[in-house]
Amino acid sequence: MEVSLIIIFWYGILHAFGPDHLTVIADFSIGKEKRKTLLITLLFAIGHGLTLFIFAKLLENIHLSEELLSYGDLISASVIMLIGIYMLFMVATNRIQLRKHLHNNQEHIHIWFGKSHQHTNSDATSSFTMGLLMGIGGVRGMLVTLGVINGGAVDFGMVGAFTLGVMVVFMLFGLLILYINKNFLANLTNVRRAFTLAGVTSLVVGTNILIG
């Protein structure tokens, strides 16, 4: 069993490198400070694993057709494309704001959408929700793979090992985004370029899922 969990852990790592996952994390993490960036990536991974566990239990008792499960990819692609459109809309309408100020003689940069600057947990909540939705895409293939490794059964330990593997990659990618935020997004021009790139990438990745 220990060997199976190690294999599943590595499978989670490989699965996490999917461009759809990394695109969503980048979309939600651009311009965020350290704590929020890491929280976003953590909650996305937890939401992703939770969806897998729920579907594993559903498929133990309910037969869902391949056609029905294929709608998961449609949902994932639609979510990614809508995020991309939203980000490009924010850039085009000049609704991305940047403000610098000092805290204890250290410069802090805040980036937000809209006119008013508010501190909320909406990004973290949205990231968890996106993790749930993105977990639907390709869930059948993941469950089949996990079931083959363990002789057809999928339990909580397997899902935990898979989620841990996913989390490792997501957190490392979050640190990369954090480095970009700190070193390259110090002015509004670069921020607009970053959000434009993220928006276009989301559209490309979402479209590729739909036609793939």
Query: Is the model's pTM score more than 0.85?
Result: no
Calpha distance 137→203 (Å, rounded)? 16
**Among 38-52, 79-93, 110-124, 177-191, whose mean pLDDT is lowest?**
110-124
Nearest alpha carbon to residue 25 among 192, 189, 205, 207: 205
Contact 69, 198 (CB under 8 A): no
**CA angle (33, 38, 40) in 5-degree steps:** 95
Give Cβ neighbours of residue 42 (< 8 Å, ≥ 6 apart). Answer: 167, 170, 171
**Among 4-13, 28-37, 115-124, whose mean pLDDT is lowest?**
115-124
Q: Report how many domains make up the chain.
A: 1
Looking at residue 81, what is its pLDDT? 92
Contact 61, 172 (CB under 8 A): no
* Chain mean position to CA 17: 11
**DSSP letter at 104?**
T
**Residue in the structure block whose two tokens are 């694993």:** 49
Reported as a single tens digit per residue, the pLDDT across 63-93 is 666 666 667 778 778 888 998 998 899 889 8
Full domain range(s) for residue 108: 2-211
